[in-house]
Structure 1
Amino acid sequence: MAKPVGAVTRGTTGHNRLRRCDRWIAAVHGPLLRSAVRPLVVDLGYGASHTTTLELFTRLRRVAPDVEVVGIEIDPARVAVAKPYEQEGLSFRLGGFELPVPRPPTLVRAFNVLRQYGEDDAWRYWDLLAKRLAPGGVLVEGTSSENGRRAIWAGLSPDGPETITFSARFDAFERPSDLADRLPKTLIHRNVPGERIHAFLSDFDRAWAVNAPYGAHGRRQRWLAAVDTLSRSWPVPGRPPLGGPARWRLGELTLPWVAVDPR
Structure 2
Amino acid sequence: MARGPVGQITRGTTGTNRLRRVDRWIARHPALRRAADPLVVDLGYGASGVTALELHARLARARPDVEVLGLEIDPERVSRARAQLELVRAGGASFAPDARVSFARGGFEVPVPGGRRPAVIRAFNVLRQYDEAEVPDAWSTMAARLSPDGLLVEGTCDEIGRIATWVAVGTDAAPRTLTVSLRLAGLQHPSIAAERLPKALIHHNVPGERVHAFLGALDSEWERAASVSPFGPVHRWRTALSALVDAGWPVRERSRWRLGEVTVPWEAVAPG
Settle same-fold status: TM greater than 0.5. Answer: yes
Aligned to 2:260: 251
CA–CA distance in 2 between the matches of 1:96 and 1:257?
25
Q: Is the 8 A contact 1:149 1:172 kept in 2?
A: no
Q: 2-side partners of 1:183 and 1:138: how far apart?
A: 19
Q: Is the aligned partner of 1:92 residue 2:103? A: yes
Q: Which residue of 2 aligns with 1:240?
A: none
Task: Map Cα deviations across residues 218-245 of structure 1 (whole Å, 9 max, x no partner).
Answer: 22211110000011220012xxxxx12x
1:212 aligned residue (219, 226, 249): 226
SS across alignment from 1:211: helix
The alpha-carbon deviation at position 14 of structure 1 amounts to: 1.1
Alpha carbon RMSD of aligned pairs, Å?
1.3
What is the DSSP-based 3-state SS (H/G/I as helix, E as strand, rest coil) of the residue aligned with 1:235? Answer: coil
Distance in 2 between the 1:34 and 1:95 partners?
Answer: 25
Q: What SS does structure 1 have at the residue aligned with 2:47? A: coil
Give the distance between the partners of 2:64 and 2:12, measured in 1 at CA: 29
> Could you tell me how far apart the structure 1 residues matched to 2:186 and 2:76 are?
34
TM-score normalised per structure 1: 0.93
1:135 aligns with 2:135: no
State the Cα distance separating 1:216 from its structure 2 match.
1.9
The aligned residue for residue 250 of structure 2 is 235
C-alpha distance after superposition, 1:80-103 (max 9, x if no partner): 011130655210001111111121
Counterpart residue identity of residue 214, structure 1: V
Could you list the runs of 5+ residues in structure 2 that have no partner in the other structure? 87-97
Partners of 1:200 and 1:88 in 2: how far apart? 40
Residue 262, structure 1, aligned to residue 256, structure 2:
no
Distance 2:61 2:233 in 1: 30
Query: Within 1, Cα distance between the matches of 2:161 and 2:99?
Result: 28
| Structure 2 SS opposite 1:154 | strand
Counterpart of 2:259 in 1: which secondary structure? Answer: coil
Describe the SS at the equivalent of 2:164: strand
How far apart are the structure 2 equivalents of 1:61 and 1:211?
Answer: 37
In structure 2, C-alpha distance between the alignment counterparts of 1:197 and 1:42, rounded to whole Å = 28
Structure 2 counterparts to residues 83-162 of structure 1, below 5 A: 83-84=82-83, 85=85, 87=98, 89-102=100-113, 103-159=116-172, 160-162=174-176
Aligned-pair identity in percent equals: 56
Deviations 1:73-122 (A, max 9, x none): 01111000111306552100011111111211111000000011011101
Which residue is equivalent to 2:61? 62
Map 1:3-22 onto structure 2 (within 5 A): 3-22=4-23
How many residue pairs match? The answer is 255
Is 1:150–1:172's contact at 8 Å kept on the other side of the alignment?
A: no
TM-score (norm 2): 0.90
Partner of 1:37: 36
Matches of 2:34 and 2:107, distance apart in 1? 27
Aligned partners of 2:26 and 2:32 also within 8 Å: no
Tell me the CA shift for residue 123 of structure 1: 2.1
Q: Distance in 2 between matches of 1:147 and 1:188?
A: 20
* Residues in 1 aligned to 2:227 and 2:48: alpha-carbon distance in whole angstroms: 43
What per-residue deviation string (whole Å, max 9, x for no partner) do you get for residues 140-196 of structure 1? 000000000000001011121111100010135311111101101000000001100
Alignment correspondent of 2:194 = 180
Q: Distance in 1 between matches of 2:42 and 2:32?
A: 15
Check conservation: 2:9, 2:74, Cα contact below 8 A. Answer: yes
